A and B are shown apart, each in its own frame.
Chain A
Amino acid sequence: MNIKILAIVISLSALIFVIDLIRREKLMFKYAFSWIIVSILAVFFSIFDKILFKIAYLLGFQLPSNFIFFSLLSVFVFLSLLITIFLCQQNNRNDIMAQKISLLELEIKKIKEKENK
């Protein structure tokens, strides 16, 4: 029974933490949404652990804990792939911006030189 309370406390604090981060504008909703879903699921399953055991049994896992580890791992692999996609997008935008700024700098310099002549 103790472990159930621990699980509920941890998953609930994760959910509250995510909500608080959004509230303080540290996380944008767009990127925090997946975390909200994950922590709501965690709270739900730590309260109704019987459902978790049933799903684990139906899917053919020998132990419910195996099911938990497997699903957590899958979620994190997926999340880190999403983060890499986001990183590449930012990197791309950064490059385009640097190119644009330096090209504009050159054009401004040229205009100034023309004026001074």
Chain B
Amino acid sequence: MKEAFSLKLSSDVLVIDDGSVDKTAKMAEDAGANVVSLPFNLGIGAAVQTGFKYARNHEFDLVVRIDGDGQHDISYLEKIIDFLLKEELDIAIGSRFVGSLSNYRFSFVRRIGINFFSSLISLLTDYKVTDPTSGFRAYNKRMIKIFAEYYPHDFPEPEEILVADRYMAKIKETAVKMNKRVSGTSSIRYLKTLYYMIKVTFAILLDKFKRKGDDL
């Protein structure tokens, strides 16, 4: 299971299975969710975009994106939706650094990475985003239409903000709690993180050169 989209009120849960070989797709289906099974691994960007296309085709008013690894606490779902509607935002980002909820422990490297992207984004755009790698986000109808048509391929979380900047979208953060992801550490991971940071930096800088977008 790669990504889960879910909606409260008159809600509809969509699970995107990005060519996974385990039984998560079947499990989600048995639990009553709509499952989109991609024929092969498309990568995170195109997988998430599939959800936006579904939402656009069904003319949904809003979408909440939730990662499939159990990292995002579903009890904050309503809070993030309320925040989106009340503040009339285009994108509401669930942040681990806003407010006093934060008990999420980061490794040193991760914290540096997140701070780095946060400053890079505030340098290139007018947004102050404390948690640019958070995937716990709510989107309104306008963003659904835009992202269904054009969605960043490689590093969607930070790059989304750059795309939003081109469409002059309204973005704000609200506090959420996140569960710890199970992960090990090894020396290779640090090099990988550094490589990831360099790649994302290039991607973000190149995003800055792209044209401003017209509403769809």
* A98 contact set on B, CB distance < 8 A: 38-40, 42, 46
B37 CB-CB contact with A under 8 Å: yes
Chain B residue nearest to A99 (CB atoms) is B50
With a CB–CB cut-off of 8 A, which chain A residues contact B133?
Answer: none
Given contacts A95-B46, A110-B34, contact A102 B57 (CB under 8 A): no
- A105–B39 CA distance with the chains assembled, in angstroms: 11
On chain B, the residues within 8 Å of A105 by CB distance are 36-37
**In the complex, A106 has a CB within 8 A of chain B:** yes
A99 touches B46 (CB 8 A): yes
**For the side of the interface on B, what is the size category?**
10 to 19
- Which A residue's beta carbon lies closest to that of B52? A99
Mark B25-66 against chain A: 1 for CB-CB distance below 8 A, else 0: 000000000111111101000100110011001000000000
**Contacting pair B36 A103 (CB below 8 A):** yes
Dominant secondary structure at the A interface: helix
CB neighbours (8 Å) of B42 from chain A are 95, 98-99
A87 interfacial contact with B, CB 8 Å: no
CB distance from B6 to the nearest CB of A (A): 15
B40 surroundings in chain A (CB, below 8 A): 98
Whether A102 contacts B49 by the Cβ 8 Å rule is no
Determine chain B's interface SS by DSSP, over half rule: mixed
**B49 and A99 within 8 A (CB):** yes
CB-contacts of A96-111 with B (<8 A): 98-99, 101-103, 105-106, 110
How far is A106 from B38 in the complex, measured between Cα atoms in Å? 10
CB <8 Å contact, B34 and A106 = yes
Contacts of B34 in A (CB 8 A): 106, 110
Q: How far is the CB of B49 from chain A (nearest CB, A)?
A: 7
Task: Please determine whether A103 and B39 come into contact, CB atoms closer than 8 angstroms.
Answer: no
List of A residues within 8 angstroms of B37 by Cβ: 102, 105
Contact at A103–B49, with CB atoms within 8 Å? no
Interface members, chain A 32-56 (any B CB < 8 Å): none
The 10 closest A-B pairs by CB, nearest first: A95-B46, A99-B50, A102-B36, A102-B38, A106-B36, A98-B39, A95-B42, A98-B38, A102-B37, A98-B42
Beyond A99-B38, A105-B37, 14 extra complex contacts between A and B, CB < 8 Å = A95-B42, A95-B46, A98-B40, A98-B46, A99-B42, A99-B46, A101-B39, A102-B36, A102-B39, A102-B50, A103-B36, A103-B50, A103-B57, A106-B35
**Could you jot down 22 A-B contacts, CB within 8 Å?**
A95-B42, A95-B46, A98-B38, A98-B39, A98-B40, A98-B42, A98-B46, A99-B46, A99-B49, A99-B50, A99-B53, A102-B36, A102-B37, A102-B39, A102-B50, A103-B50, A103-B53, A103-B54, A103-B57, A106-B36, A106-B54, A110-B34
